[in-house]
Chains A and B, each alone.
Chain A
Amino acid sequence: MLRLKIFILFIGLFSLTSLRGQISGDSILKTYNLNEVCVCDKTTENTQTFNFYRSNKLASIDEILARMQGVNLIKRGAYGLEPTLRNFSSGQTNLTIDGMRMYGACTDKMDPVSIYIEPLNLKAIQVTHGAAGAIEGSTIGGQIGLKLNEPLFNCHSSISGQFSQSFSSVNKGSNSSAIIQQSFKKLAYRISGTFRTASDYRAGSKVIIPYSGFQKINTSASAIYKIDSVQQLKFDYLGDWGKNIGYPALPMDVGKATANIISLTHRTVLNPKKLFTENEFKVYMNNVVHYMDDTHRKDVPMHMDMPGWSRTIGFYNNLSGKKNLKLRLDYHHANTRADMTMYPAGEPIMYMQTLPENNLNDIGLAGSRMFSFYKNQELNINGRLDYFAQSTAKGFGAKQWEAFNTDVTKVQNKFLKNLNIAYLIKIIKNSQIQVNIGYGERIPTSNERYGYYLFNRQDQFDYVGNLNLKPENSYQTELILKQTFKKIEYTATIFYSHINNYIYSYQMMGLSPMTIGAFGLKTYKNIDFAISKGFEGSLKIEPFSNLNYLGTIKYIYAKTNKGMPLPLIAPLKIQQAIRYQIKQFQFQLEHDFAAKQSRVNQDYGDRVTPHFNLFNARASKKFDIGKAKLQALVSCENIWDKTYREHLDIGNIPRFGRNFTINLNYLF
């Protein structure tokens, strides 16, 4: 009960932080609780996360993800950050939306799938590390599962909703959003919309970062129809339209990015006395079109169009029961392609497919089960088997590959196996120990297999794929200690991964790159192995009921079999916050520290990142207006206007300078 109260208190406090800069991994309180809510404490997950996001509608998904434990973000622009899990990148982790698979259409990873989800549509984020996350897809790094909000059935059919508006000084940013929802006897619906616009932002010392503004509109519509007392039909649509999205770290921006996600879900409540108590069947399709654009850039050697397409269709059937019992069968088909057309002055057009049109078919079977014994022990087992087939379509893109004497139309198929066993024991009343042991596999991404002269801004090399890559596989183990006392609570985690056939890049000597100014040509190969290990910890102190302290620490050490540091590994980070609450007011001070990262992979263009200290302050007040509520928040981030960057920021672009934000939420 006490724990629940703490949660609710913190959720209230979260309202203080609703709009933040693109500062990754900053607020510990959020990090801690979100994980707590989503991963450990399943019973309170829905209400708590829902409340959490109700009060944080205007933070972007990146901002929320950055607060999750084990999550670091690779930043290429002011928008569209790529989440990594314990520094496993997007190809090594799975990011799903309501169990749906989706692939970005941008070969430069400008469009991680998470950007299509606005926080106001988000019910929960489930972060699972390693093979424990291999329920919805094979993985070595884990899974980020985004759960979307659903229409709620109320006793009466009144309309409810909310309006939110915020402004931030650092980029003249404005975020507006609205939700309307209503329920009838058999039908409930929910519609939401968000409009975000931002100009180029200002880094520390008033330096304007060119090409960092963006505009986007996001809409969602969802409806549930009750067929009878045990069956439901749910329809979801999500549309996202981005325009002129700047990517200061990359040589091009995004002119237009459009995503459409549609799904239909059928749910049945089965006999509660039987093994399986619920069944969910979903069919879905999604479509992303992404146009890169250089028309706003100066000093472009040659105008270039780089569109990309991604289409995925699929279904899953998920049987679930008590004790974490789950049986899932799923299939998805993905088709991706990216083109490049260049327009040299007075010469014929140059055209190539940087990602030849390619297809992926995946059928998978997954299951999980929890066993408890001796009242204080639990064993959680989950596993998954996938069958993959990858190939490029015949045609232009496949012809291109003749230049490498490679027939990319040859189908690559593989079985992938994943297994995770988690053992938990409560030693004494307030202490528990959890041990995870897992094995996971992942197939090479389409870029790693079929990419054709894809430019990597980080090391300034062009990359071509390698058809013959073997899947990566990883053995993982994790030890978690947790102790809870009256006013203090802490967790400590250590983890270790041994990744065989690690996919690593190397230079193809004697071959020239395509991109003007690139240093050379690289491709991928499987190296024997790489390892990744580290620790995470959190400390929560509550000396008085209205004063809280939270601190977290995370560190990762990763290297190849030859001892070379892996690229893009975040340094040691400490994040702490202290919060004080009095009546309807809340005040919060935050401090983030990132150590200097000097373990860098120079081959990959990693550079040493200096340490930084960052301070933020926030204050908020709630007002009751009849039944409605108004919430006002002001905050100042990067108080000392420091020029700083995170190690995972591509292209040495500094982050936000001092930023004042005003945020108003009206709930009715």
Chain B
Amino acid sequence: MKKLFKPLLIVAITLFALGCKDEDKTEPKPTASNLIKIGETYISGANAKATVYAEKALETGYNELFVALTDSTDGSPLTKGHLHINPMMDMGMMKHSTPIENTGDSTPSNGYYKVPVVFIMAGNSSQWSLGLSFHNHKNDMEGEGNLGVEVINSSPTKITNTTIALDSNAKVFISLITPKKPVVGMNDFEIVLHKKVSMMDFPAIENYTIEIVPEMPSMGHGSPNNVNPIHLANGHYVGKVNFTMTGLWKIKLKLYKNGTLISDDQFFEITLH
């Protein structure tokens, strides 16, 4: 039965996606064809099955999880309900979570609940797990499922962290979101910042000012007319970065809080081919 449902599900999702018109055209619609399946788990308490997709294998840094929920009895898509994901790293001696952006959406978009997550370290599927709790509005049932996932190291790394003495020794994680496919010329630049408050609490940092300094390390030059990222919401900072040629670029980050430079040694490396 499951095997039969899956294609049906895909068809349904596709039809739903096609039926949706007021889409943001700049971002390609997540469809089964450009997503890969990470894993699936039953949320028995809610009579639901969750299938987790992503654009690529999960890696350290910012990832977008696309979760499709279906009725575990008849396989029909569930379009009403609340999904909450609780990622957990089990290191044996201790456990910790990681920054996650549970949106609290009551309906999936294009058939998926999109939940961005920032993995702060790599680990195998017995170490990293996603706790998926779902409140199914169809039957008003709640339950939890658990899915072990493997997280590989992003290369070049898309996450960097630093302990900032000038911000009460806060451990700050900076994750690169865009450019995903950097090109010569102008690129959107987006990063997200989180702070580790406790092993389980990684709130977004919304009160920093950020300056970016792109540089080609082998030549020592930069690029003109970059737009420093400014805070939009949930710790996301959006700006523009310019690349004047292909090759290896280093985007240096300067973090300011209340006008004081608190960190200037973090950077991302981006390679243009």
Q: Which residues from chain B contact A400 at a C-beta distance below 8 Å?
A: 184-185, 244-245
Chain A residues packing against B (C-beta within 8 Å)? 302, 340, 342, 344-345, 347-352, 396, 399-405, 452-453, 508, 511-516, 521
Q: Give the 3 A-B residue pairs with the shortest CB-CB distance, closest first.
A: A350-B247, A403-B242, A352-B245
Least CB distance, B148 to chain A, in whole angstroms: 35
Cβ–Cβ contact A453 & B244, under 8 A: yes
CA separation between A516 and B243, bound complex, in Å?
Answer: 17
CA separation between A344 and B217, bound complex, in Å?
Answer: 10
From B183, B218, B271, A399 is in contact (CB under 8 Å) with B183
Cβ–Cβ contact A348 & B223, under 8 A: no
B258 within 8 A of A: no
Cβ–Cβ contact A452 & B221, under 8 A: no
Q: Which residues from chain A contact B221 at a C-beta distance below 8 Å?
A: 512-516
Cβ–Cβ contact B247 & A351, under 8 A: yes
Cβ–Cβ contact B185 & A399, under 8 A: yes
- 8 extra A-B contacts, CB within 8 A, seeds A350-B216, A350-B219: A342-B218, A349-B246, A350-B218, A400-B245, A403-B244, A508-B224, A512-B221, A515-B221
Q: Which residues from chain B contact A508 at a C-beta distance below 8 Å?
A: 224
CA separation between A511 and B244, bound complex, in Å?
Answer: 13
Least CB distance, A398 to chain B, in whole angstroms: 8
CA separation between A571 and B255, bound complex, in Å?
Answer: 54
Q: Which of B186, B221, B223, B243 has the most CB of A within 10 A?
A: B221
Q: Which residues from chain B contact A404 at a C-beta distance below 8 Å?
A: 224-225
B2 within 8 A of A: no
Cβ–Cβ contact B248 & A396, under 8 A: no
Chain A residue nearest to B223 in the complex (CB): A403
From A344, A405, A453, A521, B247 is in contact (CB under 8 Å) with A344
CA separation between A514 and B248, bound complex, in Å?
Answer: 14
Interface SS of chain B: loop
Q: Which residues from chain A contact B225 at a C-beta distance below 8 Å?
A: 403-405
Cβ–Cβ contact B244 & A516, under 8 A: no
Q: Which residues from chain B contact A513 at a C-beta distance below 8 Å?
A: 221
Least CB distance, A222 to chain B, in whole angstroms: 44
Chain A residue nearest to B222 in the complex (CB): A512
Q: Which of B218, B223, B243, B245 has the most CB of A within 10 A?
A: B245
Q: Which residues from chain A contact B273 at a C-beta distance below 8 Å?
A: 348
| A-B residue pair count with CB separations less than 8 angstroms | 80
Cβ–Cβ contact A348 & B224, under 8 A: no
Cβ–Cβ contact A516 & B245, under 8 A: no
B92 within 8 A of A: no
Chain A residue nearest to B273 in the complex (CB): A348
Cβ–Cβ contact B242 & A516, under 8 A: no
What 1/0 flags go to B230-273 for Cβ under 8 Å of A? 00000000000011111110000000000000000000000111
Contacts of B130-178 to chain A: CB distance below 8 A: none
From A340, A399, A516, B184 is in contact (CB under 8 Å) with A399
Chain A residue nearest to B248 in the complex (CB): A347
CA separation between A515 and B221, bound complex, in Å?
Answer: 8
Least CB distance, A46 to chain B, in whole angstroms: 51
Cβ–Cβ contact B218 & A344, under 8 A: yes
CA separation between A349 and B245, bound complex, in Å?
Answer: 10
Chain B residue nearest to A397 in the complex (CB): B184
From B242, B245, B271, A351 is in contact (CB under 8 Å) with B245
Q: Which residues from chain A contact B220 at a C-beta distance below 8 Å?
A: 516
Cβ–Cβ contact A348 & B184, under 8 A: no
CA separation between A185 and B96, bound complex, in Å?
Answer: 99
Cβ–Cβ contact A350 & B243, under 8 A: no
Q: Which residues from chain A contact B219 at a C-beta distance below 8 Å?
A: 302, 342, 344, 350, 514-516
CA separation between A348 and B182, bound complex, in Å?
Answer: 14
Cβ–Cβ contact B186 & A402, under 8 A: yes
Chain A residue nearest to B220 in the complex (CB): A516
Least CB distance, B161 to chain A, in whole angstroms: 25
Chain B residue nearest to A352 in the complex (CB): B245
Least CB distance, A337 to chain B, in whole angstroms: 15
Cβ–Cβ contact B224 & A403, under 8 A: yes
From B222, B242, B243, B247, A347 is in contact (CB under 8 Å) with B247
Q: Can you give 25 A-B contacts (C-beta < 8 A)? A: A340-B245, A342-B218, A342-B219, A342-B247, A344-B247, A344-B248, A348-B246, A348-B272, A349-B247, A350-B247, A351-B245, A352-B244, A352-B245, A352-B246, A399-B183, A400-B185, A403-B225, A404-B224, A404-B225, A452-B244, A508-B224, A513-B221, A514-B245, A515-B219, A516-B219
Cβ–Cβ contact A402 & B247, under 8 A: no
Chain A residue nearest to B216 in the complex (CB): A350
Cβ–Cβ contact B185 & A302, under 8 A: no
Least CB distance, A489 to chain B, in whole angstroms: 58
Cβ–Cβ contact B246 & A350, under 8 A: yes
